[in-house]
Structure 1
Amino acid sequence: MAARDYGQYCGITRALELVGERWALLLVRDLLVGPRRYGELAAGLPRIPTNVLAARLKELQAAGIIRRAPRSRVIVYELTPYGRELEPVVLALGAWGFKAMGDPRDEQVVTPDALTMTLRTAFRPDVAATLPATAYAAHVGDAGLLVRVDGPSLAVTRGDGPVDLSFAASPDLHRVISGALSPDRAIATGVVEVLHGPGDLLSRFATTFHLAA
């Protein structure tokens, strides 16, 4: 159980007691992408103090939100079924927070798990269902992802594979996703650099992944 107690009998209050402590929902965000070792969780949240990371993991385990599990001779943390019920909440918070992001600051980083959840938040399956299947390699800072769209299905993974379009982008890619910057203008201004494939596929990417700012 988290240390914070609001002293109110309410579902929202109880939810905040369980996942409202600093860093807790970001741990849930990263674990929604997949199970992670302790070191991977620390690397994905480079500013989290080690004592806080240990405390949050302990609290989330005690609440039944995450669990420790053996995987290939190592221990990983993963969400329980109860914890996975937070996915629509996290996606909704991501869409809501996207409206207030503003311009990226120099010290802010984009992690692979954060980018994965941004793409899952912005994905429009109804639109994608009308477009040809497309694979993208998206590189934003140190985050590199393989993004496969096939009809209304989305798969985002790390690693390499055949793609139709490979591009590198600054964190200003969020302006393309929001519609504030057109794909053509993003390429012309260097916000997006096409590494492989036809640049006009960036328009399909922007149509498939969109969040209103």
Structure 2
Amino acid sequence: MGAGYRQFCPIAKAMELLDERWTLLVVRELVSGSQRFNDLRRGLPRMSPTLLSRRLHQLVRAGVVERRVEGGEVRYVLTRAGHELRPVLEALGAWGTRWIGELGDEDLDPKLLLWDMHRHVDHAAVPGGRTVVHFRFRDVPADLSAWWLVITRDEADICDVDPGHAVAVTVTASLRGMVRVWRGDLTWPEALRTGVVSVTGPEALRRALPRWFTLSDFAAVPRPAPSGSG
């Protein structure tokens, strides 16, 4: 950490810890339920393992995170101070949704999209047994274009190679289009009607698919009216 702001203001003191690159995103993943190092990496696919280790160490030292070793397994668990950052992150996310709407191509990441989708599955809405959703993205390199989400009533797993199970439905979309649906910028019906997203498979499953996901935590945030409206 740097020399700090040298101000007694509590905002300044908090930001001495939290405004270092990636730190708040590490906290975001912890608030979202990730506790193991590899799960944190999957939610932060463009963060180096070395930097992740460093940020976790800083958060542990600051009393925001507790490092627990249980039977040879290491978990990172939010302390009371860490849990109190949840409303801060929710406010930041809502503000960013409302006022920073532009996404560059570099902001689009299928790994992060599928990771976020897998932890927003409504397991009660998915058919019994095993359900496999195959995602095909039209506008990304071939090695990142195909993904499989394997869903049961208890868990969801992401595969970047064919897991060999029967596919229930296939979702074909541009990565940008699927991200827009996930963020709430475009509804499922709009995306399907305009061809931004297409779904193939048995009709009952095609119709049910949108209900299998609860969308991003910020999808329901109201957007400001376009300039000049009203």
When normalised by structure 1's length, the TM-score is 0.65
Cross-structure match for 2:189: 184
Q: Distance in 1 between matches of 2:109 and 2:178?
A: 13
- Residue 158 and residue 198 in structure 1: after superposition, are their counterparts in 2 closer, same or farther (change >3 A)? closer
Q: 1:159, CA displacement in angstroms?
A: 4.3
Residues 199/101 of structure 1: CA separation in 2 closer, same or farther (3 Å cut): same
Contact (CA 8 Å) 1:6, 1:13: kept in 2 or not? Answer: yes
> Which residue identity lines up with residue 156 of structure 2 in the other structure?
R
Distance 1:32 1:105 in 2: 27
State the distance in 1 between where 2:152 and 2:97 align: 20
What's the offset of the Cα at 1:80? Answer: 1.1
Structure 2 CA distance for partners of 1:51 and 1:135, relative to 1, 3 Å: same
User: Aligned pair 1:102/2:92, yes or no?
Assistant: no
- The letter for the 2-side match of 1:158 is A
Separation of aligned partners in 2, 1:135 and 1:62:
42
The total of aligned residue pairs comes to 188
Task: From 152, 156, 159, give the equivalent of 1:158.
Answer: 156
Q: From the CA coordinates, give the structure whose radius of gyration is larger.
A: 2
Per-residue Cα deviation, 1:170-195 (whole angstroms, up to 9, x for no partner): 44345336665343231131425365
Aligned to 1:124: none
Aligned position for 1:92: 91
CA RMSD of aligned residues (A): 4.0
- In structure 2, how many angstroms separate the alpha carbons of the residues matched to 1:58 and 1:28? 12
Distance of 2:78 and 2:222 partners within structure 1: 29
Per-residue CA deviation, residues 92-124 of structure 1 (Å, 9 max, x unaligned), is: 21122123242451663152554578x6xxxxx
SS at match of 1:68: strand
Q: 1:207 to 1:87 in 2, by over 3 A?
A: closer
Counterpart position of 2:207: 199
Match of 1:122 in 2: none
Q: How does 1:70-81 map to 2 (within 5 A)?
A: 70-81=69-80
Report the 3-state secondary structure (helix = DSSP H, G, I; strand = E; otherwise coil) of the residue aligned with 1:34.
coil
Q: Percent of aligned positions with the same letter in both sequences?
A: 29
Question: Structure 1 residue 7: deviation in Å?
Answer: 0.9
Choose the corresponding residue for 1:172, options 173, 177, 195: 177
Question: Please, which runs of 5 or more residues in structure 1 have no aligned partner?
Answer: 120-132, 149-155
Under a length normalisation based on structure 2, what TM-score does the superposition of the two structures give? 0.61
- Mapped to 1, the partners of 2:86 and 2:151 lie a distance apart of 21
Aligned to 2:220: 210
